[in-house]
Amino acid sequence: AQSVTQLGSHVSVSEGALVLLRCNYSSSVPPYLFWYVQYPNQGLQLLLKYTTGATLVKGINGFEAEFKKSETSFHLTKPSAHMSDAAEYFCAVSGPGAQKLVFGQGTRLTINP
Amino acid sequence: DTGVSQDPRHKITKRGQNVTFRCDPISEHNRLYWYRQTLGQGPEFLTYFQNEAQLEKSRLLSDRFSAERPKGSFSTLEIQRTEQGDSAMYLCASSLDGPRGSYNEQFFGPGTRLTVL
């Protein structure tokens, strides 16, 4: 079985500040890990993914995440927040060859001017 | 636009009525998924198809729910005798099959928001 816990349902940062969204996972098989972003009234868009190989992965819009097996974490970061980053962010897990995604409950990111 | 499309975008219905949603995947994608997202929660997997075959169904998919993908292209999700608890966003996604064990990105549609009064 797999599960995802996102710490903090709501995160607020100032424009230009560091963004850190936390994700911890549980998986009985080597995990594939993902971050998705959802803007209001839109579908989910893939930000980045980890499957195998390098544990620091870079995604779109300046985001990156690091897979830490020992901590079962996959936190999302961005050095400098922009107003356009305001959205809902979802961490998800899957397994090799598995097709369904298991999502966390989401973190709403607010950017203060 | 060659992305995943869903119709309708919004549906309001009365309790006890039947509703049907449609999903058109990206044209060359052979896998199609349905998820449900309630307010303040992440999407939850409902079912997925490879071509026309329904390969996995979640326990969330009660007997009142049925999904089809008759020709391996578009898919429909029907809810019979709707209940207020069915109110949610229903998301469709598609992907292209790849080598065994590989991950194939799921592309999501905009969703159908269902409100049951």
* A66-105 confidence digits (pLDDT tens): 999 999 999 999 999 999 999 999 999 987 666 789 999 9
Classify each residue of A102-111 as buried b or exposed e, where b means 16 or more C-beta atoms within 10 Å of its C-beta: bbbebbbbeb
Copy the structure tokens of residue B97.
């099959």
Distance CA A97, CA B90 (A): 24
- pLDDT tens digits, chain B, 117 residues: what are they? 579 999 999 999 999 999 999 999 999 899 999 999 998 899 999 999 999 999 989 988 889 999 999 988 999 999 999 999 999 999 999 998 766 656 678 899 999 999 999
What is the distance in angstroms between the Cα of B47 and the nearest Cα belonging to chain A? 8
Closest B-chain CA to A5: B42
DSSP state letters, B65-79: EEEE-TTSS-EEEEE
Paired residues of B21 in beta bridges: B77
Task: With CB atoms and an 8 Å threshold, state whether B42 touches A42.
Answer: no
Q: Is A97 in the B-facing interface, judged by CB distances under 8 Å?
A: yes
Integer angstrom CA distances of residue A9 from B43, B54, B74, B97: 15, 34, 34, 34
Distance CA B113, CA B25 (A): 18
